Amino acid sequence: MGVDVEAAARHRQRIAWLVLGAFAFALRLAAALVTGSFHHPELYEYHTVAQSLAAGGGFVFFSHGGVPYYSLEAPLYPALCALVYTLTHGSVAALLVLQMLAGSLTAVLIAAIGTRLFNRQAGLAGGILAACHPGLIVYASLKAHALTIDALSFCVVLWQLLQWGRERSVRRSVWAGLALGLSLLERPTAIAFLPAAAAWFFLTAAASERRAAVKQVVLLSACAFLVILPWTIRNTLIHRQLVFMRSTNWEVFWRGNNPSATGHSYVAPERLVLDTLPPEAVAQLHRLRDEMQQARWFRDRAFAFIRAHPAEFLLLTLKKWYYFWWFAPQTGTLYPRAWLYGYQALYVMVLWLVVACARAVAIHGTSEQRQAVMLIGLMLLALSLIQSLHYVEGRHRWVVEPFLLLLAGAPLARIGKALRARGVTGVSVKERAEAR
């Protein structure tokens, strides 16, 4: 009898997750149909690289005076785009559908993690928040952009790290390392998760387990770097110097550290930080006919600014960290103001729910729940710090906002339960029974 009840509960749970995934996909599909993005999606450099790959021209993008960039981006998303284009004769609409499926899977994964950590209602609430998140919907449905796959890969890393912490086995170390390695191939800032995971593993290990913990962290790191090794070797052979993931890191670093830097990629509507370069500087950059020479040009200018203005660099870094967790003056430049205000209201609610969750877990939570919240906090802190050294846009937080929605689901479910208990009249079930 007990086995039958458990099997029925698991079946209901799978049905709920399937419905959640279908709901998330329907929202994303509706957004694409309403905006017409199937016919005119927003395209980025990934699209150009993918077209070149699909046509047999290799992983290349021409930038800054027509210089060929062979290591512009991490390879996973452009390669995925190229595969879709090859199979569908260049259909961007097919790529958007794939992104919608990935976004739906992210919502289901958040629900699964939330169910494991808290309960089914909390998991479902977090999954619904992820399904309805406006930023995640926009990037999955309107743009041929890597963010949706980034967010999914980050959630997979979180899931595997939680499994690793629960079992603390060699097998789990390997799986977590492989997940992190794939995430690095998707978005290199995932490297921030490695020190966060190592610190968490040591902090939650018993004193007698510290030696074994060191070995498992080393194994996880080795597996992650084995995954990215072929790409690193490819880059190194092309450039004749070590390039781990991409050649544009210094340019991205310069965007957030220069005399015109605002902390954002925009200094004003329709004007990028790159547009503030004087004509003579642009001409100098374009005379450099190699992407690594241009990378060093950006690096030298960024460090010259830091050496000349160390206090301003520190202030900018703090400002960018604030922008990561809140909003920059340039936030919403490319969207209607109503979209921004609606999202701001949602984000404030989510932050309030996250604080409520953290407080409840700290006071009443199980050891597993406290460890999970600690891991999420360390991962968020590490990523926000590494992003603050470069430049910050709202989308950089959206990649990890599913982590916040996961935590927000628990108090949201409790609020929903309390409201259902009181009913639409505001009178509790017990009070109605006594009245009768």
In tens digits, what is the pLDDT along the chain, a chain of 436 residues? 556 777 787 888 889 999 999 999 999 999 999 999 999 999 999 999 999 999 999 999 999 999 999 999 999 999 999 999 999 999 999 999 999 999 999 999 999 999 999 999 999 999 999 999 999 999 999 999 999 999 999 999 999 999 999 988 999 999 999 999 999 999 999 999 999 999 999 999 888 888 888 999 999 999 999 999 999 999 999 999 999 999 999 999 999 999 998 888 887 777 888 999 999 999 999 999 899 999 999 999 999 999 999 999 999 999 999 999 998 887 777 778 888 889 999 999 999 999 999 999 999 999 999 999 999 999 999 999 999 999 888 889 999 999 999 999 999 999 998 888 776 545 454 554 454 4
The partner residues of 143 in beta bridges, in order of sequence, read 42
3-state secondary structure of 143: strand
* Cα(8)–Cα(380) distance, integer angstroms: 36
R_g (Cα) of the chain, nearest Å: 23
Tell me if 435 is assigned to some domain: no
Is residue 331 in a domain?
Answer: yes
Joined tokens for residue 50:
């993918």
Cα distance between the two ends of the chain: 37
> Residue 318's CB: how many other CB atoms inside 10 A?
12
Picking from 325, 291, 76, the residue whose alpha carbon sits closest to that of residue 182 is 76
Q: Which CA distances in Å does 133 have to 50, 128, 130, 312, 392?
A: 28, 8, 5, 35, 20
* 436 inside domain: no
The CB density around residue 270, as the number of other CB atoms within 10 Å, is: 8
Q: pLDDT value at position 205? A: 87
Token pair belonging to 16: 């709920």
HSE-up (13 A, CA, CB side) for residue 410: 24
Instruction: Quote the strand ranges of 176-291, DSSP E.
Output: 266-268, 271-272
Measure CA 104 to chain center: 15
Rounded to whole angstroms, the Cα distance separating 105 from 102 reads 5
Helix (H) or strand (E) holding 335: none
> How many domains does the chain fold into?
1
User: What is the pLDDT at residue 404?
Assistant: 98
Residues 6+ apart with CB under 8 A from 389: 253, 256, 257, 317, 320
pTM of the model: 0.93
Q: Indicate the residue type of 23.
A: F
Task: Give how far the C-alpha of residue 92 lies from the chain's centroid of Cα atoms, to the nearest Å.
Answer: 22
Q: What is the Cα–Cα distance from 419 to 405, expressed in whole angstroms? A: 20
Distance CA 402, CA 116 (A): 16
Whole-angstrom distance, CA of residue 119 vs CA of residue 108:
14
CA gap 85, 47 in Å, rounded: 10
Q: What is the pLDDT of residue 91?
A: 96
What is the CB neighbour count within 10 angstroms for residue 115?
Answer: 20
**Residue 21 exposure: Cα atoms within 13 Å on the Cβ side:** 14
Q: Is residue 385 part of a domain?
A: yes
Within a domain: residue 47? yes
Per the domain annotation, does 237 fall within a domain? Answer: yes
Helices within 36-146 (DSSP H only): 45-54, 76-88, 92-117, 120-132, 134-141
* Structural domain harbouring 409: 2-421
Residue 425, pLDDT score: 46
Q: Which two tokens stand for residue 130?
A: 């992820």
Classify residue 431: in a domain, yes or no: no
Q: Is residue 427 part of a domain?
A: no
159: Cα separation from own chain's centroid: 14
Pair type for strands 266-268 and 67-69: unpaired
